[in-house]
Amino acid sequence: MRAFNYSRADSPAAAAQAALAQGTRFIAGGTNLLDLMKLGIETPQQLIDINHLGLDQTEATPEGGLRIGALVRNTDLAADPRVRKDYALLSRALLAGASGQLRNMATTAGNLLQRTRCPYFYDTNQACNKRTPGSGCAAMGGVTRQLGIIGVSDACIATHPSDMAIALRALDAQIETLNPDGNTRRIAMADFHSLPGSTPHIETALTPGELITGVTLPAPIGGTHIYHKVRDRSSYAFALVSVGLILQKDGSGRVAVGGIAPKPWRVEAAETLLPQGAKAVSARLLDGATPTPDNRFKVTLVERTLASVLAQARDEA
Amino acid sequence: MNDHPPSGLSRRRFLILGAVTATAFALPPFISLKAYAAHLEQPAMANVTFEVNGKPQALEVDNRTTLLDALREHLHLTGSKKGCDHGQCGACTVIVDGRRINSCLTLAVMQDGAKVTTVEGLGLPDRLHPMQAAFIKHDGYQCGYCTPGQICSAVAALKEIRDGIPSHASPSLTEPPQLITSELQERMSGNICRCGAYSNIIEAISEVAEVSA
Ligand SMILES: Cc1cc2nc3c(=O)[nH]c(=O)nc-3n(C[C@H](O)[C@H](O)[C@H](O)COP(=O)(O)OP(=O)(O)OC[C@H]3O[C@@H](n4cnc5c(N)ncnc54)[C@H](O)[C@@H]3O)c2cc1C
Ligand code: SF4
Ligand code: FES
Ligand code: FES
């Protein structure tokens, strides 16, 4: 690991200002950043610890929703009685991710900003446009079983690995940020993660120094919430495919899919086809998909997982 | 946690500092200018104080030192093990401020002021923690490498169930989680045992938890 300086910020504003300096990173739970620093993939010169800024509370909003602090731990968010009751999809997605130990450290913002699990990104001997822009992509023609099938580009076919993000996308969450100039803004989940195009190293809409302060959820929408994660072992593994579903009594609903794209994959036009069943929805959802021979199975897996989740939701309703 | 005072400026460092100041970049007061030179020079050090197994400890560590390395290399508490150093195995599991975490994925400096419990703090050979005794009784190990992490994890996992924290295996999110085998298996999935002692580990934990089935 490269040497770095460490400091604890004393306010969100000071943290954002300090982070403008090149080579500076916030550290929250540290479970992704330290992992990548040990491998020399992240090489910050300055770490700003944001764990002591009081951003760890979840509060009701005047609109009837919830505001989740950026530093709320994944364990606490999943266990929050309001989330369990009104946003069960979020609890379920969080609980399907990582391990008990990791969820105790991992934070809301850190989870959103965790980087891809593409094996070539992790191997610094391999070409990777995301790690070293312009160096090429060793995944192309390599082992791509875990990689993306839609929203990908000629430069990068990696997926975003977060389970939590799938739920936040289906729930129409908004990301609240504070900029170094003191201005705040809200970014819709739909616009938060970027598609790779020719710049796969740019992964989100955040600008230099921008600090995530919280995530807001709109008022609950009811319905039956199911998160189904298909993986190589039944716990403590990243998704091959995951489906988050909110199904209403009248048959309408929302679907977001993980494990297949560089961002949580949701196509509102596909949701209008829910009454026609999983085949119609997944055909529309995966319209334009470019799977590799290794990961073509994900096309079928999305349809089948959605079919199973729809059947389960109808049973539970 | 304090920054270690710099021991003289080299010419190179002076030039770097000069370059930084020349950009007239306003640094917040809690960041020292040497921050921007340190990458290039000697490691940055920090003083950390925390409580480990009930005893206050004050250490001077390189900022890069993980909590795991601070425990093992500085405090010689070698119960906590380094299996992967990447959060993937659970051998380094310790309890910090009442919660289990992977000590390989947190920095010692981040834990300044924390209360840490390692397997040595749960019990010692002459006065074992019930979980340690149950692991021995049920042969919850073969080589023993994963065992300290398993035991710390198990103690904290039972507390998580008692505190009503749900898991992936909980059938309902609105009912409190139950003390059943499937819950224990899911909650212990962050602790890998290369020897495959899993069934005995679950028996040991079940005995302590008085699991029904
Ligand atoms: C073995 C293993 C298995 C895992 N399995 C899963 C899984 O199955 N599903 C899953 O979803 N995840 C999984 N994870 C990933 C885990 O969820 C993430 O590592 C975690 O959520 C990151 O959160 P953190 O707080 O530790 O982030 P950190 O590591 O502290 O930070 C990550 C990034 O976010 C930035 N950042 C943090 N907070 C802010 C903020 N407030 N504003 C701006 N930037 C910020 C940091 O600078 C850094 O770049 C796994 C991780 C490991 C190690
Ligand atoms: S798919 Fe993306 S992350 Fe993976 S090697 Fe190619 S450029 Fe890198
Ligand atoms: S050594 Fe920490 S999880 Fe493996
Ligand atoms: S007892 Fe050998 S790894 Fe678990």
Residue B141 CB less than 6 A away from ligand 4 = yes
Are B106 and A91 a contacting pair at CB < 8 A?
no
Are A75 and B168 a contacting pair at CB < 8 A?
no
Q: Cα–Cα distance between A119 and A99 in angstroms, integer?
A: 20
**How many A from CA of A153 to the centre of ligand 2?**
10
Option in A5, A35, A99 nearest B90 (CB): A99
How many residue pairs bridge chain A and chain B with CB atoms within 8 Å of each other? Answer: 152
Ligand closest to Cα of B194 equals 4
Residue B28 has pLDDT above 60, yes or no: no
Are A21 and B100 a contacting pair at CB < 8 A?
no
Residue B38 has pLDDT above 60, yes or no: no
Residue for token pair 């560590």:
B61
Residue B172 has pLDDT above 80, yes or no: yes
pTM: 0.94
Give the contacts of A12 (CB within 8 A, at least 6 positions apart): A50, A53, A55, A178, A211, A213
Residue B11 has pLDDT above 60, yes or no: no
The binding-site residues of ligand 2, defined as CB within 6 angstroms of any ligand atom, are A 116, 118, 120-121, 128-130, 137-139, 147, 156-158, 200
Residue for token pair 């070698």:
B78
Residue B75 binned pLDDT confidence (cut-offs 50, 70, 90): very high
Nearest to A4, CA basis, from A37, A30, A35, A31: A37
What is the model's pLDDT at position A208? 96
Q: Does A31 touch chain B (CB under 8 A)?
A: yes
Q: Cα–Cα distance between B149 and B82 in angstroms, integer?
A: 10
Q: What is the mean pLDDT of residues A1-30?
A: 96
Residue B12 binned pLDDT confidence (cut-offs 50, 70, 90): very low
What is the model's pLDDT at position A317? 77
Residue B212 binned pLDDT confidence (cut-offs 50, 70, 90): low
Task: Convert the pLDDT of each residue in A36-79 to its tens digit.
Answer: 999 999 999 999 999 999 999 999 999 999 999 999 999 999 99
ipTM: 0.97
Residue A138 has pLDDT above 80, yes or no: yes
Is the separation of the CB atoms in B207 and A119 below 8 Å? no
Lowest mean pLDDT among A34-48, A103-117, B38-52: B38-52
Q: What is the mean pLDDT of residues B31-57?
A: 77
Q: How many of the other CB atoms lie within 10 Å of CB of B11?
A: 7
What is the model's pLDDT at position B63? 98
Q: Does A289 touch chain B (CB under 8 A)?
A: no
Q: Cα–Cα distance between A210 and A192 in angstroms, integer?
A: 13
What is the model's pLDDT at position A217? 98
Q: What is the mean pLDDT of residues A21-35?
A: 97
**How many A from CA of A117 to the centre of ligand 2?**
9
Average pLDDT over chain B reads: 86
In a 3-state reduction of DSSP, which class is residue B132?
helix
What is the model's pLDDT at position B40? 46
Identify the structural domains of chain B with CATH numbers, from first to last: 11-41 (no CATH), 45-122 (3.10.20.30), 130-212 (1.10.150.120)
Are B107 and A8 a contacting pair at CB < 8 A?
no
What is the full DSSP assignment across chain A? ----EEEE-SSHHHHHHHTTSTTEEEESS-TTHHHHHHTTS---SEEEE-TTSS---EEE-TTS-EEEETT-BHHHHHH-HHHHHH-HHHHHHHHTSS-HHHHHH-BHHHHHHPPP--HHHH-TTS-BTTTSTTS-BTTTTS--TTS-SSS--SS-------SHHHHHHHTT-EEEEE-TTS-EEEEEHHHHBPP-TT-TT--BS--TT-EEEEEEEPSP--SEEEEEEE-SSSSSS--SEEEEEEE-TTS-EEEEEESSSSS-B--HHHHTTGGG-HHHHHHHHTTT----TTTTHHHHHHHHHHHHHHHHHHHH-
Nearest to A76, CA basis, from A112, A110, A104: A104
Q: Radius of gyration of chain B from Cα atoms?
A: 22
The binding-site residues of ligand 3, defined as CB within 6 angstroms of any ligand atom, are B 82-85, 87-92, 102, 104
Which residue among B94, B104, B145, B192 has the greatest number of ligand 3 atoms within 8 angstroms of its CB, and so is best to mutate? B104
- Greater model confidence, B38 or A179: A179
Q: Does A52 touch chain B (CB under 8 A)?
A: no
Q: Cα–Cα distance between B36 and A187 in angstroms, integer?
A: 31
Three-class secondary structure assignment of A275-309:
HHCHHHHHHHHCCCCCCCCCCCHHHHHHHHHHHHH
Are A235 and B168 a contacting pair at CB < 8 A?
yes
Residue B39 binned pLDDT confidence (cut-offs 50, 70, 90): low
Average pLDDT over chain A reads: 98
Task: Convert the pLDDT of each residue in A191-214 to its tens digit.
Answer: 999 999 999 999 999 999 999 999
Q: How many of the other CB atoms lie within 10 Å of CB of A223?
A: 19
**Amino acid (one-letter) located at A50:** I
Residue B208 has pLDDT above 70, yes or no: yes
What is the model's pLDDT at position B9? 34
Residue B10 binned pLDDT confidence (cut-offs 50, 70, 90): very low
**How many A from CA of B193 to the centre of ligand 3?**
12
In a 3-state reduction of DSSP, which class is residue B169?
coil
Q: Which ligand 2 atom sits closest to the C-alpha of A155? A: 7
- Chain A hits for B28, CB-CB cut-off 8 Å, are 9, 14, 17-18
Beta strands in B79-163 (DSSP E): 93-96, 99-102, 115-117
